[in-house]
């Protein structure tokens, strides 16, 4: 296992970071704000009016995997259970049997290729559903959309794998806004891009570890078994992304729990056999401890619904459940990291606040991968 001291030296050495990053993950993550602006422009040029002109659909079906599926989960969490339009997320290639002329089908994929992307596009057109495609330039999916006279958001070739979340999410947010499913201004691209730009400044490679929230989090995760506690459904969607990035980029397994409904399981893990427990003085030097240790990573959402169902046992509030989880962690000496709680998170609206959380997590996963030299080993 790489020592924290050596990892910190790596993270503060710009030349070494560049050498360990052959795909350019760091520049790609730092460019998330520009990605939002560019994708918003490309979406406008694609002409969503051809999809939204008929008014609200009965259902919105999003065919996506990996980053596209996370984007769809974020949208579904934003709309919530009170949405007048049912949102279904499927991996493809098969569409739900009920899809028809009253529905909108969005196929969101970085490559725009493969049976799971192209087949549902042709099938949606055959059934008379409205279609929107998101994918690479000159991809087979674009041909399917052209045949159906459907809009296609053509992504530039420079998009780097594992860093295209905002290329998938931005068109979905704009589509939902045009359909009147989101409050006015809630999905404004510029406010989201500005929040992402701020994180790029705060977490960029030129900032040293002791003043860099993403590098600090990466160092905390270096010897950790992360347990992610997400406050409500939107934070839960973010937790899926965080766990996937930690696993895919850094090879680090992470377990996620959405609160309040998974509070019991989260507390059981934090107080279970992997917890440090009573191992002497809490203030002891842990430098000599061996192996990975549980670390709680919290993702907060102050706008999460106050209750998650009238029939649930106490506590029904996501915030109350989070406090119980934090108390359990403290009682069992489990250290805690709070995702993107630096600065003044309260000054951001809900989506820009989520953007900050996702951006810090992306930076941290990349830094962790570079500290472990995973990227160079995988792509040499």
- Between 104 and 81, whose confidence is greater? 104
User: What pLDDT does 289 receive?
Assistant: 56
Q: Could you tell me the pTM of the whole model?
A: 0.92
Please state, as a whole number, how many other Cβ atoms lie within 10 Å of the Cβ of residue 79: 18
pLDDT-derived band of residue 310, with 50, 70 and 90 as boundaries?
very low
User: What pLDDT does 304 receive?
Assistant: 86
pLDDT at 353 over 90: yes
Distance from the Cα of residue 138 to its chain's centroid: 27
Q: Where do the structural domains in the chain lie, given as residue ranges?
A: 4-23+192-379, 29-188
Across all residues in the chain, what is the average pLDDT?
92
- What is the pLDDT averaged over residues 207-223? 96
Nearest Cα residue to 364 out of 230, 237, 278, 249: 249
- What is the pLDDT averaged over residues 111-135? 97
Q: What is the CATH number of domain 4-23+192-379?
A: 3.40.50.10490
4-23+192-379 against 29-188: fold identical: yes
What is the CATH topology of the domain spanning 29-188?
Answer: Rossmann fold (3.40.50)
- What is the pLDDT averaged over residues 51-60? 95
Reported for 189-194, long-range contacts at CB under 8 A and 24+ positions apart, including other chains, are: 189/36, 189/37, 189/40, 190/37, 191/349, 191/351, 191/352, 192/33, 192/36, 192/166, 192/351, 192/352, 192/355, 193/32, 193/33, 193/34, 193/36, 193/37, 194/33, 194/352
Cβ(91)–Cβ(110) below 8 Å: no
- Give ∠ CA 207-212-218 in degrees, rounded to 5: 120
- What is the pLDDT averaged over residues 210-219? 96
User: What pLDDT does 307 receive?
Assistant: 47
Lowest-pLDDT range of 129-133, 201-205, 279-283, 352-356: 279-283
pLDDT at 365 over 70: yes
Over residues 160-193, the pLDDT tens digits come to: 999 999 999 999 999 999 999 999 889 999 999 9
């Amino acid at each position: 296992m790489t020592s924290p001291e050596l990892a910190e030296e790596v993270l503060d050495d710009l030349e070494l970071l560049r050498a360990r990053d052959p795909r350019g993950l760091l520049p790609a993550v730092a460019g998330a704000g520009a990605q939002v602006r560019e994708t918003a422009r490309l979406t406008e040029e694609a002409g969503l009016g051809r999809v939204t002109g008929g008014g609200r659909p009965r259902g919105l079906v999003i065919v996506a995997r990996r980053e596209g599926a996370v984007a769809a989960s974020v949208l579904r969490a934003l709309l919530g259970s009170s949405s007048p339009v049912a949102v279904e997320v499927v991996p493809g290639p098969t569409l739900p049997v009920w899809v028809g002329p009253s529905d909108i089908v969005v196929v969101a994929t970085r490559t725009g290729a493969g049976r799971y992307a192209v087949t549902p596009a042709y099938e949606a057109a055959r059934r008379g559903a409205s279609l929107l495609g998101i994918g690479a330039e000159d991809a087979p999916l674009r041909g399917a959309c052209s045949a159906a006279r459907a809009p296609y958001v053509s992504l530039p070739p420079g998009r780097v794998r594992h860093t295209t979340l905002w290329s998938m999410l931005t068109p979905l947010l704009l589509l939902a806004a045009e359909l009147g499913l989101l409050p006015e201004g809630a999905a404004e691209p510029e406010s989201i891009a500005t929040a992402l730009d701020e994180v790029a400044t705060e977490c960029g490679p030129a900032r040293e570890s002791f003043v860099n929230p993403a590098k600090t989090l990466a160092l905390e995760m270096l010897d950790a078994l992360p347990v992610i506690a997400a406050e409500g459904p939107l934070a839960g969607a973010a937790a899926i992304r965080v766990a996937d990035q930690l696993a895919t980029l850094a090879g680090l397994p992470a377990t996620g729990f959405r609160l309040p409904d998974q509070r019991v399981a989260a507390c059981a893990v934090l107080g279970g056999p992997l917890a440090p427990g009573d191992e002497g003085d809490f203030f002891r030097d842990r430098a000599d401890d061996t192996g990975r240790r549980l670390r709680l990573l919290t993702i907060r959402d102050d706008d999460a619904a106050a209750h998650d169902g009238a029939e649930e046992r106490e506590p029904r509030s996501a915030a109350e459940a989070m406090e119980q989880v934090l108390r359990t962690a403290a009682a069992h000496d489990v250290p805690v990291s709070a995702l993107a709680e630096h600065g003044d998170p309260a000054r951001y609206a809900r989506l820009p606040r989520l953007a900050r959380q996702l951006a810090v997590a992306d930076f941290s996963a990349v830094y962790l991968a570079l500290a472990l030299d995973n990227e160079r080993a995988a792509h040499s």
